[in-house]
């Protein structure tokens, strides 16, 4: 049991898909999704550093206080664009989790 608690994957930050919310703003739709896991200052610093290194992750805005990430998609692009954004977000979180000490 102690091994499970010490496993970094057991406490890794991940997307809580059940919290996905959409808000229309002109031709864009702004999405907000909650995070599960420990979103502390160390994790947030790693998130921002990795995000700064790649233009592909700059669309995602982290709100540490509410443990959410928001991003926008063009409404006309449909749901496929949203799923692609969520996949990219999960890839970003995976990289951050690997870079953050347990």
Find the mean pLDDT for residues 7-22: 82
pTM: 0.84
Q: Is the pLDDT of residue 75 over 70?
A: yes
- Enumerate long-range contacts of 95-99, CB under 8 Å, 24 or more apart: 95/50, 96/13, 96/43, 96/46, 96/47, 96/50, 97/8, 97/9, 97/12, 97/13, 99/46, 99/49, 99/50
**Domains identified in the chain, total number:** 1
**Greater confidence, 28 or 8?**
28
pLDDT(12) > 70: yes
Structural domain of 47: 2-99
CATH number of the structural domain spanning residue 39: 3.30.1460
- pLDDT tens-digit readout, 25-55: 888 999 999 999 999 999 999 999 999 999 8
């Amino acid at each position: 049991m102690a091994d499970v608690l010490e496993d970094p994957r057991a406490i890794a930050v991940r997307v809580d898909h059940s919290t996905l919310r959409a808000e229309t703003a002109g031709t864009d739709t702004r999405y907000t999704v909650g995070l599960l896991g420990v979103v502390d200052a160390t994790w947030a610093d790693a998130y921002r550093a990795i995000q700064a290194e790649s233009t592909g992750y700059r669309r995602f805005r982290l709100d540490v206080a509410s443990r959410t990430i928001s991003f926008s998609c063009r409404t006309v692009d449909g749901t496929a664009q949203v799923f692609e954004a969520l996949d990219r977000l999960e890839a970003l979180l995976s990289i951050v989790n690997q870079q953050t000490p347990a």
